[in-house]
Every structure is written in structure tokens, then in C-alpha cells.
Amino acid sequence: MLDQSVRFPKLKFLVTLLGAVVIILTFIPYISTEHWSIRVFDFPHLQLTIFTALILLALVFLFNKRRVKDYILTIALLACLIYQGTKILPYTVLGKVEVDNASAKTKETLSIYTANVLQDNRDVKSLIKDTKKFNADVVLYTETNSKWTESLNEYLNKEYRYTVQVPQENTYGMLLYSKFELEQSTIEYLVEDTIPSIHTRLILPSDKTIQLYAIHPAPPTPIHNPSSLDRDAELMKVGRLSKNSEFPVIVMGDFNDVAWSETTSLFQSYSGLLDLRKGRGLFNTYNAKYWFMRWPLDHVFVSPDFRVLEVDLGSNIGSDHFPFFTKLSLESSTASKQRLPSPSKEVIDDATEQIREEKEEEGS
């Protein structure tokens, strides 16, 4: 009896070819470069994992026990699948929770809603409806221009007394609304003079202070920004500020990066901030328009002072992003239980190098 690879030679060739592509794509992100053509492969990791599993299933069906190449390809694909699984698993319910659940006695809470509105989106009503559904204490909108600012202020100014607004027409505008008092609010341009970030201190009703950083760094793109240096440097600069803060810290916004990338992993190790997605789910915020190409771009990272009451995604607001919501409790007395190790010299050197490279590029 002929094996399946002999009966379906064209299919076997296609599966072998796709298997080789999977192996290449798995290890492309290890190439040490900031160019967009390489860094873009950081994103579709879940899709690649699923695709690898499908190729393996097809290969089992077409496996030829007399061909050494089939054994080599199968082992290589299994290795890729295991590696991919180790990257994704921490962001599923099977992973270890990095930010513990809130204790039953928690009293000091803070809820956050962040949404990339998509500057050209005109569906203000859907955004307002979703915002009011979650009724968060702090709301951050990115990609907001003057038109969005005017529309949102009309609905939100009465409920949110404190605000920091940076409307821009280049898709990097930001609007921050808060029910709680904001102090020492500044608009910083850490890397580019057209890419703002909001730095402010939030005062809880108990008079405790929280340091907030709202960011939206530029992604690596073929035309406008072919290198990820700017994005990476901004994350490292915010990481340094977070590491040195005397207050509990929250960093939120559209990072234009996924949690499992080398850059965001370095940001975490350097800053000591925790990822509340770990052990809870991917909560993919992008791309809202295509269910098969989604990954988490919008994040809330917190210092060990916080614990989690709730994590959720918002509804379709007409944007290419889903809103991201979380409710946190401030429990600084138990921070030591989930504190990350202090950054190693290698981590500090790598983060410093990211910042230095961006400065050199800017000066060249």
C-alpha cells in the first residue's frame, strides 16, 4: 500500500515548503536588528503557533517512514511548536498569574479604560457608550485630534473633572480624563517632538499618590519609521522613570508592541513593572476588524503595589482597536510578595544601549 506522501506528492511538497517557512518565521525575531521588516514578525506569534500545529498534523498524515527528511522536519516543527508555546503559555489561563488577585479586604481601588479611537473613526456614540458602560476612574484615549477632543469633552467634562489633553492631527494625540485629582501633570516628548506622552500624579481619595505614564510610541513602519529604535527607546525611558519612582506606578496606552517581544520583556525586567495579562488571557486589542489577525497592543503595566479585581475588553467602537479595561486595588503592604528581581547588569546595559542608539540616530 502506498503511503500518503506518494499518493499526494504535490500536497506533500506544499506541506514541506510551508514547514520550512514556519521554521524560518519562528527564528526571524532573533535577528538582531530594529528594521521593521524583521520586527513585524514579533506580532503574529499566536497565529504562527496555530499554523505550526496545523502543518504538523498535515505532516503526520503525509509522513513517510522511509524518508529521513520527514523525521528531521517533524522534529524541527515540534521544537518550533514547543518554543512558540512557551512564549504564549504565560498569557493564557494555564500560565502563572504575575499580578495577584485583590484581597477580600481591599478598599483602595482604581479602574482604568484605555482605547485607541482610530483618528479617522467617526463613531463617537459607540465610544461614549462603551466608556460609560465601564465607568472607569481614569480614561485614556489615543489617536485623538481636535475633532475628537471637542466631541469627547462635550460628553465627559462634567463627570471627569481632571484632564490632560494633547490633541494632534498626526494620529498621536492623547486625551487623559480622571475622576480623581491630577497633580504635576506634564506633556513630555521623550524621543520625537511629535510623539507626546503624559506624565502625571493621581491622588486617591485616601490622599495616596500614584504615578501615571500614558504612552503611545511610534511603531516601526516601512515608510515613516522603518526602525523600531524610537519605540524601543521610549519604552526604556519610561521604564527608567518607573524604576526610580517613589510612588506606585501605572504605565498604560498603545505600546505598538506585544507583551512577548524582546523589547517589552526588557522593559518589564528593567522597570520592575508587572503584566496583569499573565495567567489571565491574551485580551487581544488589535485588530478589531480581522478576527484571525489579533494580538495585544494596548497595555496596562503596574508596580508590585497593585492587585487585580477585573480585566476585560471593550466593545467594537468603530476603531481597529478594542478598548482595554482593568480594575486594580492598591495593596502596597503586600508588594514584596510579587516583586520582580532587581534588574541585572546585563538588563540595565541593554536598556541603556537602546536609549543610546536612539540618541545616536537622532544626532546623525
Residue 361 is predicted with a pLDDT of 64
Label residue 136 by pLDDT band (50, 70, 90): very high
What residue numbers bound the domain in which 68 lies?
A: 4-91
Average pLDDT, the chain: 92
Domain final residue, candidates 91, 117, 134: 91
Per residue in 3-36, pLDDT tens? 555 566 788 889 889 999 999 988 887 777 677 6
**CA nearest to 174, candidates 143, 139, 151, 137:** 143
- 212 and 80 share one domain: no
Do both 170 and 58 map to the same domain? no
Which tens digit of pLDDT belongs to each residue from 52-94? Answer: 999 999 988 887 777 888 899 999 999 999 999 999 999 999 9
Does the pTM surpass 0.85? The reply is yes
Q: By mean pLDDT, which of 103-107, 152-156, 208-212, 340-344 is the weakest?
A: 103-107
The angle that helices 345-363 and 229-243 make with each other, rounded to 10 degrees, is 130
Stated as kind and residue range, the H or E segment containing 358 is helix 345-363
| pLDDT digit string, tens, across residues 150-165 | 999 999 999 999 999 9
Quote the pLDDT of residue 254.
98
Point out the least confidently predicted range of 139-148, 207-216, 257-266, 303-312: 257-266
- Tally Cβ neighbours within 10 Å of residue 168: 17
Backbone angles phi, psi at 62, to 5 degrees: -105, 10
63's grid cell:
509522513
Same domain, 79 and 173: no
Residues 348 and 260 in one domain: yes
Half-sphere exposure of residue 72: CA atoms within 13 angstroms, side-chain side: 5
CATH code for the domain of 233: 3.60.10.10
Q: Which of 59, 91, 123 is the last residue of a domain?
A: 91
CA end-to-end span of the chain, whole Å?
67
**Mean pLDDT of the 303-309 span:** 98
Q: 160 is written with which cell numbers? A: 471627569
287 cis-preceded (ω within 30 degrees of 0) = yes
Q: What is the dihedral of CA 177, 180, 181, 182, to 10 degrees?
A: -40
- Asked if residue 355 and residue 310 are part of one domain, the reply reads yes
Give one DSSP letter per residue of 288-319, joined into a string.
TT-TTS-B--EEEEE-TTEEEEEEEE----SS
Across 269-293, average pLDDT: 96
Which string of DSSP letters, residue by residue, matches 175-240? EEEESSEEEEEEEE-SS-TT--EEEEEEE-TTS-EEEEEEE-PPPP-SSS--BSHHHHHHHHHHHH
Q: Using CA atoms, how far apart are residues 56 and 135, in angstroms rounded to an integer?
A: 46
* Three cell numbers, residue 303: 508596580
| 97 lies in some domain | no
Residue 278: pLDDT band (50, 70, 90) is very high
Asked if residue 126 belongs to a domain, the reply is: yes
Note whether 32 and 125 are same-domain residues.
Answer: no
For the stretch 98-129, pLDDT in tens is 999 999 888 899 999 999 999 999 999 999 99
Of 140, 134, 177, 181, the closest CA to residue 159 belongs to 177
Query: Do both 64 and 126 map to the same domain?
Result: no
Reading phi first (left if > 0) and then psi (alpha if -120 to 50, else beta), residue 135 is in: left
Q: Are residues 28 and 146 in the same domain?
A: no
Residues 52, 19 within the same domain: yes
**Going by C-beta distance under 8 Å and a sequence separation of 6 or more, which residues neighbour residue 224?**
218
Measure the CA–CA gap between 257 and 324, rounded to whole angstroms.
Answer: 15
Are 191 and 129 in a shared domain? yes
Grid coordinates given for 215: 504612552
Considering the domain architecture, whether residues 47 and 160 belong to the same structural domain is answered as no
Residue 12 in any domain: the answer is: yes
> How many independent structural domains does the chain possess?
2
Helix, strand or coil, per DSSP, at residue 103? coil
pLDDT at 224: 65
Identity (one letter) of the amino acid at 281?
A: G
DSSP state of 29: G
120 in the same domain as 44:
no
What DSSP element (H or E) covers 114? strand 109-116
- Longest alpha-carbon distance in the chain: 79
Task: Give the model's pLDDT for residue 2.
Answer: 45
